[in-house]
Amino acid sequence: MMEFNEDLEQFVFEYKGLIFAWDEEPRKDYMEQVKKISEKYNTHLDLIIEFMMPNITEVFGKFSFNEVKEKLGKPVIDYDNGQVNYFEQSFDDMHIFTFEFLDDEFRDLQYFSIDG
């Protein structure tokens, strides 16, 4: 069910372990978009982790691929801004991981950051 999240100040919807966020209430056909993005994110999760791994290793030390996957937590996908945020990652309790995606396939990834 779509709801407004006061902390994020966005409309959010959870689908298959992914959280989708919009600044404005999405159009009625948002489920089609959610399903498509969810499938593409899960299909390319290994590529996403490979993209983030060098920075994670540099900041937090060496982890196996599966440990990174587990520690990322639920992503918040802001489709309108082309960003994925991990607010609840478990590497520590103060950083937010973010990257930008420039296509719906999650193949063109840029600007991974660890902010805190």
> If you write DSSP's letter for every residue of 20-88 in order, what string do you get?
EEESSPPPTTHHHHHHHHHHHHHHTHHHHHHHHHHHHHHHH----HHHHHHHH---EEETTTTEEEETT
The Cα 36–Cα 41 span in angstroms is 9
pLDDT in tens, 24-39: 998 888 899 899 999 9
Q: Look at residue 79 in the predicted model and tell me its pLDDT.
A: 84
Given a cut of 90, whether residue 98 has pLDDT beyond it is yes
Contact residues for 41 (Cβ-Cβ < 8 A; gap 6+)? 18, 48, 75, 77, 84, 106
Q: pTM, whole model, 2 decimals? A: 0.91
Tell me what pLDDT residue 77 has.
96
Domain spans, the chain = 3-115
Using CA atoms, how far apart are residues 108 and 116, in angstroms rounded to an integer? Answer: 25
103 pLDDT exceeds 90? Answer: no
